Homo-oligomer: A and B are copies of this chain.
Amino acid sequence: MTRAEPTMGELSARDHAFYGLIWAGTTLAAHVDRALMRAHELPLSWFEVMLWLNGQTEPVPASALGAKTLLSRPQVSRVVDALQARGLVARTPAPHDARSVEIALTPEGLAAFAEANATRRAALADVFDQRLDDADIDALETVWAKLKA
């Protein structure tokens, strides 16, 4: 029973947008992470690695995941360790570079990702579909594209 209801002081529209982005991002991440954990004992960080591995036809060097993912390169190493321990990904030495390691989803990993992705879509639908229309989705995509540059 909170007595006083704090509200942010007078802030500009840009300030609201900044805080809203961080709030929405972390809240969504937590929501999806819990859903994945409950359904498959699968942290969101593991899922993200599998997500990037999914679209690929050829194996991917670990450095590429470190660059594209939100995770740091060391963390990629540990996540791959865990996924490998569960047989979801395979580490293979790179053909012409003995220090590099190529990573690819195993068939089991591909199946696990398909299931996990389904639960992610479901968890996302709970929050997105009922509240955001196509215009909002488009706006989000364009904002993301502009920020990436």
Contacts and interface: CB of A to CB of B under 8 A. Distances in A.
A19 B120 CA distance: 11
A35 B116 CA distance: 36
Given A18-B128, A55-B10, A70-B22, A3 B144 contact: no
A75 interface: no
Q: Is chain A's interface secondary structure helix, strand, loop, or mixed overall? A: helix
Given A2-B64, A6-B52, A28-B22, A17 B141 contact: yes
A7 to B, nearest CB: 6
A14 B137 contact: yes
A147 interface: yes
- The 6 closest A-B CB pairs, nearest first, are A25-B25, A9-B55, A20-B144, A139-B139, A17-B140, A2-B64
Interface of A: 2-10, 13-29, 32, 51-56, 58-61, 63-65, 67-68, 70, 121, 124, 127-129, 131-132, 134, 136-144, 146-149
